[in-house]
């Protein structure tokens, strides 16, 4: 689903964000991406969503070589990826329904179809019946779920989450992760960037660790965690 081959990223100005990164997230796999802030997590996610492009190496998303995708085609690639952000990126002056419906409206679905799918997505994240609310009226956990509903409403092949539990207490964090597990069970590939190591330790998924722009050996289930990573 995601394949990085010797990918490096140097920002203009000489800041080296990623160096020689190799990894492969298989179709239908769920994995964590960890590392200190500044280790290159954000850069890696930006390369996947084509907000930035690699300075060297190859990035494949869902079989597409990113280098071959022109600026004009980037939106179509992003429609195959559901993205979830720490700060939700919700439109605060629109209703929950409008927020979740946005990807469908962009895709051009009819109103009836949009209604059906939004209702289904909100049901999945446990917000059924809150369509008419404004995000501002919801709690932090609920806002995050609205973001998740928006990410999955278009049934993307890949879910990317950037610190999805950053502002939530452990119980809510666990709920959100369980939610990701259900999508993963349904066949969606999931990559979650987080520095919440306690959370990762409780789940049995592959962990990709970045340190100073380099990918450490992918840690398999059951391996002990070293402090400070």
Partner 1 sequence: MREHGELTRSKLPISGQIVMFFIRHIQQGMASIGELWRNPVSSLMTMAVLGVSLSLPAALQVLVKNADTITQSWSDAAEISLFIEEGRNEQAVQSLVSRIKGYSEVAEVHYINKDEALAEFQQLSGFGEALSYLETNPLPAVVTVIPTDKYSSPDGAKMLLSKLEKEQDVNHGRLNIEWLERLQALIRLLERTVFAIAALLVLAVVLIIGNTIRLAIMNRRSEIEVMKLVGATEAFIQRPFLYTGIWYGIIGGILAWIIINLLVWYLDGAIADLLGLYDSSLEMASLSFTELLQLVFLASFLGWFGSYLSVRQHLRAIEPS
Tell me how far, at minimum, the Cβ of 83 lies from partner 1, in Å: 6
Question: Binding partner 1 by CB under 8 A: which of 38, 63, 170, 187?
Answer: 63
Task: Give the whole-angstrom CA distance, residue 166 versus residue 152.
Answer: 20
What does the block give as tokens for 53? 């492009």
Which residue number, 46 or 214, has a Cβ lying nearer to partner 1?
Answer: 46
**Residue 164 within binding range of partner 1, rule CB under 8 A:** no
Which residue number, 65 or 220, has a Cβ lying nearer to partner 1?
Answer: 65
**Residue 12 within binding range of partner 1, rule CB under 8 A:** no
Strand order in the sheet with 189-193: 81-84, 158-162, 189-193, 30-34, 206-211, 214-215
Task: Give the whole-angstrom CA distance, residue 112 versus residue 123.
Answer: 17
**Residue 49 within binding range of partner 1, rule CB under 8 A:** yes
Residues 74-113 contacting partner 1, CB under 8 A: 75-79, 83, 89-91, 102-103, 105-110
Tell me how far, at minimum, the Cβ of 9 lies from partner 1, in Å: 15
- Both ends of the chain: CA-CA distance in Å? 26
Instruction: Decide: helix, strand or coil at residue 220.
Output: coil
Strands, E assignment, 67-157? 81-84
Alpha helices in 125-164 (DSSP H): 140-152
Tell me how far, at minimum, the Cβ of 209 lies from partner 1, in Å: 24
- Which residues lie across from 159 on neighbouring strands? 82, 190
Binding residue count for partner 1, defined by CB under 8 A: 29
Which residue number, 110 or 221, has a Cβ lying nearer to partner 1?
Answer: 110
Which residue number, 67 or 201, has a Cβ lying nearer to partner 1?
Answer: 67
Q: What angle do CA 103, 108, 113 make, to 5 degrees?
A: 85
Residues that bind partner 1 (CB under 8 A): 49, 51, 63-65, 68-70, 72-73, 75-79, 83, 89-91, 102-103, 105-110, 150, 154
């Amino acid at each position: 689903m995601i394949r990085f081959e010797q990918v490096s990223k140097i920002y203009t100005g000489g800041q080296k964000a990623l160096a020689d990164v190799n990894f492969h997230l298989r179709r239908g796999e769920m994995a964590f991406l960890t590392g200190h802030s500044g280790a290159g997590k954000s850069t890696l996610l930006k390369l996947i969503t084509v907000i930035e492009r690699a300075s060297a190496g190859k990035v494949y998303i869902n079989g597409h070589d990113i280098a071959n995708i022109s600026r004009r085609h980037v939106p179509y690639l992003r429609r195959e990826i559901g993205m979830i952000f720490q700060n939700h990126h919700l439109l605060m002056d629109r209703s929950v329904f409008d927020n979740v419906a946005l990807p469908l409206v962009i895709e051009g679905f009819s109103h009836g179809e949009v209604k059906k799918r939004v209702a289904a997505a909100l049901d999945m994240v446990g917000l059924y019946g809150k369509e008419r609310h404004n995000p501002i009226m919801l709690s932090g956990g609920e806002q995050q779920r609205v973001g998740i509903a928006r990410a999955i409403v278009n049934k993307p092949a890949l879910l990317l989450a950037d610190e999805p539990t950053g502002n939530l207490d452990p119980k809510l964090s666990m709920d959100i992760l369980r939610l990701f597990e259900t999508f993963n069970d349904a066949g969606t590939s999931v990559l979650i960037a987080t520095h919440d190591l306690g959370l990762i330790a409780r789940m049995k998924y592959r962990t990709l660790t970045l340190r100073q722009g380099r990918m450490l050996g992918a840690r398999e289930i059951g391996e002990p965690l070293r402090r400070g990573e």
